[in-house]
Amino acid sequence: MEFTKIKPHPDLADFIECYWMMYSDDPIPVVEKIIPDGFTEIIFNYRDVYRSKISGAWQLQSPNLLAGQLRTFFYLQNTGTTGSIAIKLKPAALTQIFGLNMEEYLDKIVDLDTFPNPELGELKEKIRFLYSIDYSKKKPFVKQVLDEFFSGVIKPETENPLRAPLELIFSSNGMVPVSEMALAAGVSERQLERLFKKHIGLSPKYYARIIRFNYIFQLIQGKKSSWAEVVYQSGYYDQSHFIRNFKAFTGEDPSSYFFEEKNIANFFLNK
């Protein structure tokens, strides 16, 4: 599998985390585990579709998808060859840009073609001509098309009421109490909860927990910390609490997780 990340234009940095592409000619089905990373996505699969298992049975996905926030891991499997172009959005961006209520998309991957939003339909049409370009030459074209699209649909006056608390969450690697987030936003904790549910889909406490979990991968990637140091630096009370939290998001013990394996989850979690 080939993975490519693309930085958006600096003017879009408040809304877009990155663009990414994925490609493989291998049709043999492989099950991948997808782990929460705190971002939402719009995904276009232009080769064979995937199937997913979020809860219960496997379900065949549509080619064009919108993925909301995740509370825990789920499984993904190719049904043939892979070709994907996607946008990884900042936590509140889908509400800011398209007016979506993100609580409705929690733990969901939905068919993008069912959305009545005309701008999302326009994005699908703009992406379509990129499909025939060779993967090795796609990167500049993907960046140009997506930068132009989002520069056109994002209004200059677009505000993010969660800018300050989100900055606190990321700067502290998720180790910030809800009371400080509410203070930064200038609202009550109850109001903050409502804003998070609408713009992100999760409570502020749970979202911070995901970002703290993500920080573990940055610490492991440095390869300079022992497990005891990772537990301490990531703000857990003790090793058992750390292991429980890790298992809740990955289904695995941290000592048995393959941090260096080339897969979709590590592609995003290893910054």
User: What pLDDT score was predicted for residue 210?
Assistant: 94
Q: Which residue has the higher pLDDT, 87 or 230?
A: 87
Residue-range domains of the chain with CATH = 2-153 (2.60.120.10), 163-269 (1.10.10.60)
Using one digit for the tens of pLDDT, what is the confidence trace for 65-100?
999 999 999 999 999 999 999 999 999 999 999 999
Indicate whether 248 pLDDT > 90.
no
Indicate whether 29 pLDDT > 80.
yes
Q: Does the pTM exceed 0.75?
A: yes
Using one digit for the tens of pLDDT, what is the confidence trace for 160-218?
999 999 999 999 999 999 999 999 999 999 999 999 999 999 999 999 999 998 888 88
Q: Which of 196, 159, 165 is nearest to 182 (CA)?
A: 165
User: What pLDDT score was predicted for residue 224?
Assistant: 66
Residue labelled with tokens 């809740």: 248
Mean pLDDT of 22-42: 94
Angstrom distance (rounded) from CA 107 to CA 109: 7
User: What pLDDT score was predicted for residue 223?
Assistant: 64
- Is 230 within 8 Å of 219 (Cβ atoms)? yes
